[in-house]
């Protein structure tokens, strides 16, 4: 009997589906949060015998269970851990672990893609087109490669995942893969997805008005309280407020933080590691520890949310050669204008400042992070120009 302990997100459930296709009734699958995994693995190892094979995917074990698994294998047991998070790379020191962040072709790996390839190598499963299509959709979504490829099917698969319980989704997809030549959404699923996409759009529009800016260590983060659509929300908020290093999505009820970034020079997995968490460079999660609560929740409780840039302006436009006007909650007026050296200068309430910026983006980033500024509407821009 195989016992699979895996994550409770799309990638982790993808591993469960691959296991069901490979072993049928000969596998017991347990879907776990990051915090719950180690309790489950410890309980299994306390009663496991040599006839039971341990599989762990999309999650890594703590140091105590690392030692327990090694002892279990030394005593004749069988165990395999497959993961793709760089925070688990140290486990590759053990013969029972296979942690791969990047594939040989240079693309990022997912747990589902790694587990599928491993199952094929072990002759647990034969290659098939529809399963490989599903596995690739999961990989592209989990690594966020779908956005660069504009592969909306991968995103829609994750949307579908959240419409059902894990057990319902697992059963639905397993049956689809076992009985179809290619992976497609049926008519009912298409209808559900269209309704869901409309709901997600409304949810994100509302949450764009509820983001709080806070300095945490060397970074400036955006904090939003949300229980749903974390990947879509984190991505959209990162684009809307791209002066922020990352977005922290707070779930006070479950005492968790979900971290997202679009910046190549920011690694949110290292941020998550400070709060008993981990993940990918651009997507990670952690516990809402006492320290995290103070930094992300208490610091923002009495502040006001970030103001969105003015939209539908006709005159006050970003990167305008005649200047761009920003304002703050303290009613300061910040004016960015190119100078004769093709640099961007800064005026504060009509007073020229000494610092200059190489690009408009650099200047805007500075005033948004330093002053919490936002692009003003056309009317105050016209008034500012008249007084110049």
Tens-place pLDDT, residues 287-322:
999 999 999 999 999 999 999 999 899 999 999 999
Task: Write 132-140 long-range contacts (CB < 8 A, 24+).
Answer: 133/182, 133/183, 134/14, 134/17, 134/173, 134/177, 134/183, 135/14, 135/18, 137/183, 138/10, 138/11, 138/14, 138/110, 138/112, 138/113, 139/11, 139/107, 139/108, 139/109, 139/110, 139/112, 139/113
Residues 209, 234: contact at Cβ < 8 Å? no
pLDDT at 238 over 90: yes
Residues 237-257: what's their mean pLDDT? 95
Q: What is the pLDDT of residues 118-162, one digit of tens each?
A: 999 999 999 999 999 999 999 999 998 988 898 999 999 999 998
Q: What is the pLDDT of residue 260?
A: 94
Residue 21: the pLDDT is 96
What is the pLDDT averaged over residues 192-221? 94
Q: Count Cβ atoms below 10 Å from residue 205 Cβ, excluding itself.
A: 10
Average pLDDT for 65-70: 96
110 vs 63: CA distance, rounded Å: 23
Please determine, for residue 45, whether its predicted confidence score (pLDDT) is greater than 80.
Answer: yes
Asked if 202 contacts 236 with a C-beta cutoff of 8 angstroms, the reply is no
The Cα 96–Cα 69 span in angstroms is 8
DSSP-derived secondary structure for 146-165: HHHHT-HHHHHHHHHHTTS-
Please give the pLDDT value at position 267.
94
Q: Give pLDDT, residue 86.
A: 87
Hey, is 300 helix, strand or coil?
helix
CA distance 182 to 165: 23
Band (pLDDT 50/70/90 cuts) for residue 232 is confident
Percentage of the chain with pLDDT > 90?
Answer: 84
Mean pLDDT, the chain, integer: 94
């Amino acid at each position: 009997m195989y016992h699979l302990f895996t994550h409770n997100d799309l990638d982790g459930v993808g591993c469960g589906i691959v296991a069901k296709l490979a072993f049928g009734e000969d596998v017991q699958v347990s879907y776990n949060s990051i915090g719950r995994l180690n309790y489950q693995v410890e309980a299994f190892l306390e009663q496991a015998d040599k006839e039971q094979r341990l599989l762990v995917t999309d999650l890594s074990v703590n140091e105590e269970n690392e030692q327990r698994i090694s002892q279990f294998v030394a005593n004749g047991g069988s165990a395999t851990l497959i993961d793709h998070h760089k925070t688990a790379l140290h486990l590759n020191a053990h013969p029972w672990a296979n942690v791969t962040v990047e594939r040989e072709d240079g693309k990022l790996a997912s747990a589902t893609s790694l587990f599928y390839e491993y199952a094929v190598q072990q002759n647990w499963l034969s290659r098939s087109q529809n399963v490989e299509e599903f596995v690739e959709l999961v990989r592209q979504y989990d690594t966020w490669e779908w956005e660069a490829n504009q592969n909306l099917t991968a995103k829609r698969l994750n949307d579908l995942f959240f419409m059902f319980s894990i057990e319902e989704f697992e059963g639905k997809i397993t049956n689809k893969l076992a009985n179809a030549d290619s992976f497609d959404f049926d008519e009912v699923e298409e209808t559900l997805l269209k309704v869901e996409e409309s709901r997600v759009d409304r949810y994100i529009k509302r949450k764009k008005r509820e983001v709080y800016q806070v300095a945490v260590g060397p970074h400036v983060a955006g904090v939003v309280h949300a229980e749903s659509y974390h990947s879509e929300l984190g991505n959209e908020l990162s684009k809307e407020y791209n002066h922020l290093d990352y977005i922290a999505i707070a779930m006070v009820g479950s005492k968790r933080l979900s971290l997202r970034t679009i910046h190549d020079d920011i690694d949110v997995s290292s941020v998550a590691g400070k709060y008993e968490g981990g993940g990918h460079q651009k997507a990670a999660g952690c516990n809402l520890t006492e320290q995290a609560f103070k930094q992300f929740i208490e610091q923002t409780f009495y502040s006001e949310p970030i103001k969105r840039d003015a939209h539908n302006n006709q005159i006050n436009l970003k990167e305008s050669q005649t200047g761009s006007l920003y304002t703050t909650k303290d009613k300061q007026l910040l004016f960015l204008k190119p100078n004769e050296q093709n640099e961007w200068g800064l005026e504060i309430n009509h007073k020229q400042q000494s610092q200059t910026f190489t690009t408009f983006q650099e200047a805007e980033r500075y005033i948004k992070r330093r002053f919490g500024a936002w692009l003003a509407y056309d009317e105050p821009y016209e008034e500012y120009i008249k007084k110049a």
